[in-house]
Amino acid sequence: MLGYIAGRILQGIINILFITVLVFLLARASGDPVEAFVPDEASAATVELIKERMGLNDPLHVQYWIFFKGLLVGDLGDSKILKEPVTKLLVERLPATFSLAATAMFIAMVMALPLGVLSAVYRDTWIDRVAKIVAFLGQSSPQFWIGIMLMILFAVLLGWLPVAGRSGPSSYILPGFVMGWFVIAGLVRLTRSSMLDVLDSDYITMARGKGLPERTVIWKHALRNAMIPVLTYSGLILGGFMNGSVVVEAVFAWPGIGRLALDAVQGRDFPVVQGVVIMVGAFFVVINLLVDITYAIVNPRIKYSSN
Amino acid sequence: MAQATSQPVLETQSLSLRRRAYAIVDGLRRAPLIPTIGLAIIIICALFAPWIAPFEPTKNDIINNFVPPAWHEGGSWKNALGTDKLGRDMLSRIIHGTRVSLSLSIAVILLGGTAGTFFGLASGFMGGKTDAVVQRGVEAILALPLILVALVFMSAFGTSFTNVIFILSPFVAARFARMVRGEALAIKELDYVALARVVGSPTHRIVAKHILPNVFNTVIVLSTLEVGHLILVESSLSFLGVGIPPPRPAWGLMVADGRDFIQSHYWLTLFPGLAILVSVMCLNLFGDWLRDTLDPRRRQL
Convert the pLDDT of each residue in A110-126 to its tens digit: 988 888 888 888 888 88
Question: What is the share, in percent, of chain A residues with pLDDT greater than 70?
Answer: 91
Question: Does an H or E element contain A32, and which?
Answer: none
The sign of the torsion formed by the CA atoms of A237, A240, A245, A251 equals: negative
Among B22-26, B90-94, B220-224, where is mean pLDDT lowest? B22-26
B144 in contact with chain A, both atoms CB, cutoff 8 A: yes
B301 in contact with chain A, both atoms CB, cutoff 8 A: no
Find the residue in A nearest to B152 (Cα): A273
* Residue B69 DSSP one-character state: P
Q: Do B155 and A273 touch (CB under 8 A)?
A: yes
Reading chain A (307 residues) residue by residue, the pLDDT tens digits are 788 888 888 888 888 888 888 888 887 776 655 665 566 677 777 777 777 766 667 777 888 888 888 888 878 778 877 788 888 888 999 999 999 999 999 999 998 888 888 888 888 888 888 888 888 888 888 999 999 998 888 887 887 877 777 777 788 888 999 999 888 888 888 888 888 888 888 888 888 888 888 888 888 778 887 887 887 788 778 878 888 888 999 999 899 998 998 888 887 777 888 888 888 888 888 888 888 888 777 766 544 444 3
b/e A48-74 (16+ beta carbons within 10 angstroms → b): eeebeeeeeeeeeeebbeebeeebeee
A92 close to A259: Cβ distance less than 8 angstroms: no
Q: Return contacts of A161-166, CB within 8 angstroms, 24+ apart.
A: A164/A251, A164/A252, A164/A253, A164/A254, A165/A252, A165/A253, A165/A254, A165/A255, A166/A96, A166/A254, A166/A255
Measured between CB atoms, which of A136, A142, A244 is closest to B273? A142
Q: How far is CA B26 from CA A14, B9, B22, B299, in A?
A: 47, 25, 6, 21
Q: Answer yes or no: is pLDDT of B254 > 60.
A: yes
Average pLDDT, chain A: 82
Crossing angle of the two packed helices B146-157 and B161-188, in degrees rounded to 10: 140
Q: What is the CA radius of gyration of chain A?
A: 24
pLDDT at B297: 58
* Residue A204 identity (one-letter amino acid): I
Q: What is the ipTM of this complex?
A: 0.83
Using CB atoms and an 8 Å cut-off, which of residues 184-213 of chain A contact chain B? 189, 193
Q: B49 vs chain A: nearest CA distance in angstroms?
A: 23
pLDDT digits (tens, 9 = 90+) for B89-108: 888 888 998 999 999 999 99
Q: Do A276 and B240 touch (CB under 8 A)?
A: no
Q: B8 vs chain A: nearest CA distance in angstroms?
A: 33
A14 vs A22: CA distance, rounded Å: 12
Using CB atoms and an 8 Å cut-off, which of residues 64-123 of chain A contact chain B? none
Measured between CB atoms, which of B145, B236, B276 is closest to A242? B145
Q: Do A273 and B151 touch (CB under 8 A)?
A: yes
Q: B118 vs chain A: nearest CA distance in angstroms?
A: 20
Which of A104, A118, A121, A110 lies closest to A244, judged by CA? A104
Pick the more confident residue, B75 or B124: B124
Backbone angles phi, psi at B195, to 5 degrees: -65, -45
How many C-alpha atoms does B15 have within 13 Å on its Cβ side? 13
B244 vs B103: CA distance, rounded Å: 12
With a CB cutoff of 8 Å and minimum separation 6, the contacts of A76 are A70, A85, A86, A87, A90, A271, A274, A275, A278, A279
Find the residue in B nearest to A241 (Cα): B145
